[in-house]
Amino acid sequence: MREPVNPRPYRSPRRAAQAAATRVAVLRSAHELFAIQGYAATSVTAIARRAGVAVDTVYASVGRKPQLVLALIDEALAGHETDAPGGQATPSIERDYVQQVRATPGARAKLEVYAAAIVRRHPQVVPLVVALRQAAATDAAAGAALTSLADRRAANMRLFAADLRATGDLRADLTDDQVADLVWSTNAPEYYELLASRGFSPADVERLLLDIWTRVLLAP
């Protein structure tokens, strides 16, 4: 009688650690070159050379240039937290500030935690989004990545709106979609970039976001 086949693939901890280290090296190299040369002037070949890996390894570990930028944005949003097993980015629901928001009682306190988290991360996120937006003018893949990023933020804001609603502190005349869309538009890297160009400091942006959100979203 033939032995039953084990359907579970073998997973080597050593290989997983090597894959995670390779991913980190690729992302660090991409970040350094994007900062020095800009998105358009940085080739995947140059990233691979700097990371000490083959071009195919860059594609296999992270992806093409738009995916590299998205991965770097995810890192910045996660606050450079420890990567998930396999070297993948921390899922948004598992990021430390998201967990803190969910554990905090009261809508105003949740908004305070979130506003503080946004301004800590956006100085690193904004240059990456700017690079992706510039590339999107001529690169369809970069445009798709930018759209994906906006859609992911929108989906996460609907979860945030539901969390705020559960406190009982939101205005009853606002739907969760309206709450989510207001936060989505004002927490955008593009909005932070606009305010920074007018001389707003991170602390200024934090105060403004909290003022807008509490005035518009919370019940009197």
What is the 3-state secondary structure of 48-96?
HHHHCCCHHHHHHHCCCHHHHHHHHHHHHHCCCCCCEHHHECCCHHHCH
- Residue 87 pLDDT exceeds 50: no
Residue 56 contacts by C-beta under 8 Å, 6 or more apart in sequence? Answer: none
pTM score above 0.85? no
Residue 182 contacts by C-beta under 8 Å, 6 or more apart in sequence? Answer: 212, 213, 216, 217
- Residue keyed to tokens 């979203």: 217
Which domains are assigned to the chain?
A: 13-90 (1.10.357.10), 95-217 (1.10.357)
Q: Which tokens belong to 150?
A: 């906006």
Q: What pLDDT sits at residue 142? A: 86
Q: Give the model confidence (pLDDT) of 103-123 as tens digits.
A: 999 999 999 999 999 999 898
Dihedral, 58, 64, 70, 74 alpha carbons, nearest 10: -20
What's the mean pLDDT in 173-191? 96
Q: Give the model confidence (pLDDT) of 53-80 as tens digits.
A: 999 999 998 888 888 988 888 887 776 5
Spatial contact of 193 and 119, defined as CB atoms under 8 Å apart: no
Handedness of CA 106, 163, 210, 122 (dihedral sign): positive
d(CA 192, CA 27): 24
- Residue 15 pLDDT exceeds 60: yes
